[in-house]
Chain A
Amino acid sequence: MNKFMHVTLAKMKAYLKTFIALILVSIGGTLSNGSYALEAEKSAGIDVNTIVAKSSLAAYYGGSDGRTMARMKIFDANGRQQVRQFAILRKDIEEGGRQKFLVIFSRPNDVKGTVFMVHKKPQGEDDRWLYLPALDLVKRISAGDKRTSFVGAHYFYEDVSGRSTEADNHQFIEETESQYVLSHTPKDPQSVEFASYKTWIDKQNFLPVKIEYYDQQGKAFRLIEALDIKTVQNIPTVFKAKVTDLTDQSYTTLEFRKAVYDLGIPEDVFSERSLRKPPVEWLRKKK
């Protein structure tokens, strides 16, 4: 009897969750981006480059600026965990174009105060800075490519900052009831570790919910999933995501909390000054 009750309760909870999620997603879709909802209706005729552009906007350009607290848990193949906790401040300079980021670390305690600053330039090489408090050192970073690990996680720098939509050739694969499925092949295969990748994009909010990377043999070796999407200030926002190395099942989860948009962060916050002296005001400010 007890057991039965338990099962039923669990099921009901699950239904309730799905229900709420559905409502949230639909509200988010309708309210925040009415135009998307409209376009989605006539999706049969939608152009693949439009989907890609919209998806990029949905994933990386919510609001005109934003702040979120992030917690990364990196699990190796033995299940051992490392944690990285940081705040992200972002400001869009051009919608769909240049952006500025500040990433301020708080955990593990021994890297507290480490700061990354990025001035993203989709058309050229990003400007990147690094501040290491224990060495009292500010450095410009120059990187051969953007597919290096983000602080030891399974995420790449490019996954966090956003891969340029110009870097790949996009191909429409199929359209399901709720998703567009696209395939992408790099224009410069030498510069990346994959042969191609596929994205599954939510038709409602244009967030990529799944990205799978393939090697030369067409075997999937890397998977990124959006596990939890909530709507904040009418903007559908990924609250939990996961990257899995399919070769050994090691993975990283990335959880966001306290996401806010449109704080009105001035551009000069994203300057070298903020490296040594994090902008406390903007890290604490409530919307």
Chain B
Amino acid sequence: MFANRIIALSLNRPLMIYWGLVLFTLSIGALISLIKVDTDPENMLSRDEPARIYHNQIKQEFALSDLIVVGAVAKTGETIFNPQSLADLKVLSDEIKQIEGVIVKDVNAISTIDNIEQAGEGVIRFEWLMAKAPTDEQSAIELQQKTRRLPFVVNSLVSGDEKAATIYVPIENKDESYRISQAIQVLIEQLSNANEYHITGLPVAEDTFGVEMFIQMGISAPAAAAVIYLLMLYFFRSASLVVAPMIVAMATVIIVMGAMIGMGFTVHIMSSMIPIFLMPIAVVDSVHLMSEFADRYKPGSDAKAEIKKVTQHLFQPMLFTSITSAAGFFSLALTPIPPVQIFGVYVGLGILLAFLVTILFIPAYVSRMNDIALRNMQEKLHSASSADRKPSILARLLPIWGGFSIAQNKLVIIVALVVTAISIVGISKIQINDNPVRWFKSDHQIRVADRVLNHHFAGTYDAHLVLEFTGREDLIRGLYGEVISIVQQAKLNQSLSPESINAIETILSKGAQSLSIQELNQVVDDLLFDESDSGILVLEQIQSVVDESEANLKQFTLPRNLAYIEKLQSYLLETALVGKSNSVVDLVKTVNRELRSGSDSDYAIPETQNAVAQTLLQFQSSHRPQDLWHFVTPDYTKSLIWLQMTSGDNQDMKAVIESVEGFVANNPLPENIELNWAGKAYLNLIWQDKMVAGMFDSLVSAFAIVFIMMVILFRSLLFGLLAMLPLSITIIFMYGMIGWMGKYYDMPIAVLSALTLGLSVDFAIHFIERTRAYFKEHQDWQTTMKLMFEEPARAISRNALVIALGFTPLLLAPLVPYITVGAFLAAIMAVSALVTILVLPASFTLLKGILFKVAK
């Protein structure tokens, strides 16, 4: 048999096993040096996800960069419009422009933008809003008055309460955000003490997250190893014996991480948790082996023979538990979230690897332990649990527990049913929500900055609403047809010179798809110089159809479309879900106001398309013409509304989307205009939706796979169902608790379901397998149950403790998702072990007539 061959290999060739393991671990572990950390929440979506592709296309088309947000709050508690605060702001924004990697021309602050205003009768003035910091109170107040008239400043660059101002720092590459934010910090320290500063923005959060992720791996994983080691030492009282499972765990973690990194996968928040997941799970099989070995081994007996017997005995349940645990993790591959897939697959592989390493290495190791060490272990262990000494807590409690669940089996089942029912109600209360900024603890500087800035401003969370003209192709095709017919006519009349015909036909020969209005215009304009009078008429005819098409193409200079955007914006503001929105309309209205009278009554969209175009031409005659292209594309076929929100919670984003859908339902979009979403807050919502749906699929399929395996393993439908019982109760209970507690269902919570399934089925497998084995041996129910609450119940409890306590070092992690996972997994392990040794014996007792028939 396969199992025997492996055990024989382990026992007969221990040195080969040792060296093989060392070499394998070291060579694959070396790949860890290639580590690349990925903290971009965008990668929660796969690269070919349409929402992500669209988001990046919009980012490119509207020249949107990743932003570091520097907030300054006046320390006086009064407004920021005092000479000292403003002087600091000016110095800081000037110096930030000197930092390598900053996109200088797009740095946004009151000291880097233009003002447009009336300067006496019939005069319009363009100038830097704050070319120099005001030196006295009076000019500071004048500046304050000016900023109030600029919609792009109010609540974006200066807070609504005017106590704070921001500098938006666009950066070329978001991987540099940590370095740049550090450089900004250095600049801040050299300023006078007028303002208090906060640095935030998604790139900073991401980079900081990466740093803390390493802290997590550097602290929590070794701490988990230490906890597990101490716990096992307590159970087995032998340092040299306990070293063996630690070696198994270390080797597994190193090989898996090396393989994952070597395969080119980045270390994401999920995969950074692989070591801490694998460590406790990897020692589980060893604990079973050693538990039984320690119980069976008597001084003087042959360790080699004993471990051989134990390994043979446990091979099948260990194999099955490993496969089922792995299946739970593998099921995560069914989620559409790449980091979760990678996590699931590699932890799954790690579990299978740990099984293999365990049965190869543990027998070899134990058989080579020297007699003195074994005798020491034996003495300590047996003296600790021998009759004249006080038995261990587990050894005392478990039989009582067993007795209770057998005697009160009906009560146990009723309680389980009631708890399940209450939990199901709790599940219906679950609130789905996530927000990457909440991954930091609430006293983290990023959370503090987030709170302060969102308190003063209309919001630092972005979403983009994109309005898009869909009729472009039809329009160009129509123009193409018209020009062809004009040229055909001119050919017949011979009214156009052959040179002109040739030039125009050259352009038309490229086909309707690649017809460029600009190119056609240029050629016709050039031809006009040398054409005859009759030819000029033809060319002007062409010009007029081209001009008409061009006007129809420029949908976002059309006053009625701008009016739609204006209406949508004011609606959004009324809903109070959005702090502020900015669009090309605000820009057009501001310039129009100043071009006309400067009074509020002229803060309006001009009446004609040409008037809008000419207004925009004036805007473009500023220091920052490129700002226009953040709101409209140069062909005016797409327009972007930038929404500022004070919350990055997916729930809030969802509410905004629903309210826009409501608006569009009542106010149909203009003809041939379509509306789409982009922006980070929107992307977060997309991956959350995918995750929720994906997790359900993954849970259901894992449940089905594990159930089928249980039926095969026990060759009984009923036992298969019973094996699923404890974990089903546990999962329902856990999610019910989350619902009742009001804790948000977020990414870390979502992945817990599949993990619970994979891990807690182990307990049921061992319990059922051992129960059936004892019953087969003794043919007596009472004896079987008595024996079950000795060594098997102890092994299950030990494992539950190892895994539960093994996860607790995650509580030390600096990031919330790790803490959540640690706390819940510890709770899950405890609950599922408890449920297993309460509910299974009770169910067995209730069904013993069917399940356990005495052999004839």
A positions within 8 Å CB-CB of B: 71, 76-78, 80-83, 85, 106-111, 114, 130, 132-135, 137-145, 147-153, 157, 190, 215-217, 221, 245, 247-248, 257-258
A71 and chain B: residue at smallest CB distance: B522
Partner of A140, one of B98, B123, B518: B123
Flag if B613 contacts A134 (CB, 8 Å).
yes
| B622 at interface by CB-CB < 8 Å | yes
| B264 at interface by CB-CB < 8 Å | no
Partner of A114, one of B122, B125, B617: B617
CB distance from A174 to the nearest CB of B (A): 29
Flag if B620 contacts A139 (CB, 8 Å).
no
Task: Please indicate the chain B residues that have their CB under 8 angstroms from the CB of A142 in the complex.
Answer: 119, 123-126
Task: Please indicate the chain A residues that have their CB under 8 angstroms from the CB of B525 in the complex.
Answer: 71, 85, 106-107
Flag if B61 contacts A78 (CB, 8 Å).
yes
| B629 at interface by CB-CB < 8 Å | yes
Q: How far is the CA of A68 from the CA of B624 in the complex (A)?
A: 27
A157 and chain B: residue at smallest CB distance: B621
Contact of A135 with B595 at beta-carbon distance under 8 Å, contacts A78-B60, A190-B132 already known: yes
18 residue pairs of the A-B complex, CB under 8 angstroms, read A76-B63, A78-B63, A107-B521, A109-B547, A110-B557, A110-B614, A134-B608, A135-B592, A138-B122, A139-B124, A139-B595, A140-B124, A141-B123, A141-B124, A142-B119, A148-B621, A190-B131, A257-B526
Flag if B125 contacts A111 (CB, 8 Å).
no
Q: How far is the CA of A145 from the CA of B596 in the complex (A)?
A: 22
Q: A77-B63, A108-B550, A149-B621 are known contacts; what are 12 more A-B pairs with Cβ within 8 Å?
A: A80-B633, A83-B522, A110-B550, A110-B557, A133-B610, A134-B610, A134-B613, A135-B611, A149-B623, A151-B617, A152-B620, A152-B625
For chain B, residues 502 to 549, give those with C-beta under 8 angstroms from any C-beta of chain A.
Answer: 518, 521-522, 525-526, 529, 547
Task: Please indicate the chain A residues that have their CB under 8 angstroms from the CB of B625 in the complex.
Answer: 149, 152-153
Task: Please indicate the chain A residues that have their CB under 8 angstroms from the CB of B608 in the complex.
Answer: 134
Contact of A83 with B613 at beta-carbon distance under 8 Å, contacts A140-B122, A148-B621 already known: no
Task: Please indicate the chain B residues that have their CB under 8 angstroms from the CB of A80 in the complex.
Answer: 633-635
Task: Please indicate the chain A residues that have their CB under 8 angstroms from the CB of B132 in the complex.
Answer: 190
| B103 at interface by CB-CB < 8 Å | yes
Task: Please indicate the chain B residues that have their CB under 8 angstroms from the CB of A245 in the complex.
Answer: 105
Q: How far is the CA of A204 from the CA of B806 in the complex (A)?
A: 83
Task: Please indicate the chain B residues that have their CB under 8 angstroms from the CB of A143 in the complex.
Answer: 125-127
Q: Bin chain B's interface residue count.
A: 35 or more
Flag if B127 contacts A110 (CB, 8 Å).
no
Flag if B620 contacts A149 (CB, 8 Å).
yes
| B713 at interface by CB-CB < 8 Å | no
CB distance from A250 to the nearest CB of B (A): 8
Task: Please indicate the chain B residues that have their CB under 8 angstroms from the CB of A71 in the complex.
Answer: 522, 525
Which of B103, B551, B614 gathers the greatest number of chain A CB atoms within 10 Å? B614
Flag if A135 contacts B614 (CB, 8 Å).
yes
CB distance from B543 to the nearest CB of A (A): 8
Q: How far is the CA of A252 from the CA of B624 in the complex (A)?
A: 15
Give the tally of cross-chain contacts (CB within 8 A).
132
CB distance from B284 to the nearest CB of A (A): 55
| B728 at interface by CB-CB < 8 Å | no
B124 and chain A: residue at smallest CB distance: A139
Flag if A148 contacts B63 (CB, 8 Å).
no
CB distance from A154 to the nearest CB of B (A): 9
Flag if A110 contacts B610 (CB, 8 Å).
yes
For chain B, residues 123 to 165, give those with C-beta under 8 angstroms from any C-beta of chain A.
Answer: 123-128, 131-132
Q: How far is the CA of A240 from the CA of B119 in the complex (A)?
A: 37
Contact of A81 with B634 at beta-carbon distance under 8 Å, contacts A110-B610, A135-B615, A216-B98 already known: yes
Task: Please indicate the chain B residues that have their CB under 8 angstroms from the CB of A106 in the complex.
Answer: 525
CB distance from B192 to the nearest CB of A (A): 20
A112 and chain B: residue at smallest CB distance: B610
Task: Please indicate the chain B residues that have their CB under 8 angstroms from the CB of A134 in the complex.
Answer: 606, 608, 610-611, 613-614
| B659 at interface by CB-CB < 8 Å | no
| B451 at interface by CB-CB < 8 Å | no
Q: How far is the CA of A85 from the CA of B547 in the complex (A)?
A: 14
Q: How far is the CA of A77 from the CA of B629 in the complex (A)?
A: 11
B positions within 8 Å CB-CB of A: 60-61, 63, 98, 103-105, 114, 119, 122-128, 131-132, 518, 521-522, 525-526, 529, 547, 550-551, 554, 557, 592, 595-596, 606, 608-611, 613-615, 617-618, 620-626, 628-629, 633-635
Q: How far is the CA of A85 from the CA of B61 in the complex (A)?
A: 25
Contact of A83 with B521 at beta-carbon distance under 8 Å, contacts A114-B614, A135-B615, A142-B119 already known: yes
CB distance from B529 to the nearest CB of A (A): 7
A147 and chain B: residue at smallest CB distance: B623
CB distance from B580 to the nearest CB of A (A): 26
> What is the interface of chain A mostly: helix, strand, loop, or mixed?
mixed
Partner of A110, one of B119, B131, B609: B609
Task: Please indicate the chain B residues that have their CB under 8 angstroms from the CB of A76 in the complex.
Answer: 63, 626, 629, 634
Flag if A111 contacts B122 (CB, 8 Å).
no
Task: Please indicate the chain B residues that have their CB under 8 angstroms from the CB of A147 in the complex.
Answer: 623
B606 and chain A: residue at smallest CB distance: A135
Q: How far is the CA of A245 from the CA of B63 in the complex (A)?
A: 15
Q: How far is the CA of A257 from the CA of B527 in the complex (A)?
A: 12
Contact of A108 with B613 at beta-carbon distance under 8 Å, contacts A76-B629, A140-B122, A140-B123 already known: yes
The 4 closest A-B pairs by CB, nearest first: A144-B127, A152-B620, A110-B613, A134-B610
Flag if B554 contacts A110 (CB, 8 Å).
yes
Task: Please indicate the chain B residues that have their CB under 8 angstroms from the CB of A114 in the complex.
Answer: 614, 617
Task: Please indicate the chain B residues that have their CB under 8 angstroms from the CB of A148 in the complex.
Answer: 114, 126, 621-623
B526 and chain A: residue at smallest CB distance: A257
Which of A143, A145, A148, A245 gathers the greatest number of chain B CB atoms within 10 Å? A148
Contact of A144 with B613 at beta-carbon distance under 8 Å, contacts A83-B522, A110-B551, A152-B625 already known: no
Which of B103, B126, B596 gathers the greatest number of chain A CB atoms within 10 Å? B126
Flag if A81 contacts B518 (CB, 8 Å).
yes
A105 and chain B: residue at smallest CB distance: B617
Q: How far is the CA of A138 from the CA of B126 in the complex (A)?
A: 16
Task: Please indicate the chain B residues that have their CB under 8 angstroms from the CB of A257 in the complex.
Answer: 526, 529
A219 and chain B: residue at smallest CB distance: B100
CB distance from A258 to the nearest CB of B (A): 7
CB distance from B122 to the nearest CB of A (A): 6
Task: Please indicate the chain A residues that have their CB under 8 angstroms from the CB of B629 in the complex.
Answer: 76
Contact of A141 with B60 at beta-carbon distance under 8 Å, contacts A134-B608, A149-B621 already known: no
Which of B103, B125, B132 gathers the greatest number of chain A CB atoms within 10 Å? B125
Flag if A132 contacts B634 (CB, 8 Å).
no
Task: Please indicate the chain A residues that have their CB under 8 angstroms from the CB of B547 in the complex.
Answer: 109
CB distance from A139 to the nearest CB of B (A): 5
Flag if B617 contacts A152 (CB, 8 Å).
yes
Q: How far is the CA of A137 from the CA of B611 in the complex (A)?
A: 10
Contact of A151 with B125 at beta-carbon distance under 8 Å, contacts A78-B61, A110-B551, A144-B131 already known: no
Task: Please indicate the chain A residues that have their CB under 8 angstroms from the CB of B615 in the complex.
Answer: 132, 135
Q: How far is the CA of A104 from the CA of B528 in the complex (A)?
A: 17
Which of B114, B557, B617, B635 gathers the greatest number of chain A CB atoms within 10 Å? B617
Task: Please indicate the chain A residues that have their CB under 8 angstroms from the CB of B98 in the complex.
Answer: 215-217
Flag if A132 contacts B614 (CB, 8 Å).
yes
Flag if B127 contacts A139 (CB, 8 Å).
no
CB distance from A206 to the nearest CB of B (A): 30
Q: How far is the CA of A224 from the CA of B617 in the complex (A)?
A: 23
Partner of B103, one of A138, A149, A247: A247
Flag if B595 contacts A137 (CB, 8 Å).
yes
Flag if A111 contacts B522 (CB, 8 Å).
no
Which of A82, A138, A150 gathers the greatest number of chain B CB atoms within 10 Å? A82
Q: How far is the CA of A149 from the CA of B634 in the complex (A)?
A: 16
Q: How far is the CA of A186 from the CA of B729 in the complex (A)?
A: 78
Q: How far is the CA of A144 from the CA of B128 in the complex (A)?
A: 7
Task: Please indicate the chain B residues that have their CB under 8 angstroms from the CB of A107 in the complex.
Answer: 521, 525
CB distance from A194 to the nearest CB of B (A): 12
Flag if B620 contacts A151 (CB, 8 Å).
yes
Task: Please indicate the chain A residues that have their CB under 8 angstroms from the CB of B633 in the complex.
Answer: 80
Q: How far is the CA of A215 from the CA of B97 in the complex (A)?
A: 10
Contact of A150 with B621 at beta-carbon distance under 8 Å, contacts A134-B611, A138-B122 already known: yes
Flag if A111 contacts B623 (CB, 8 Å).
no
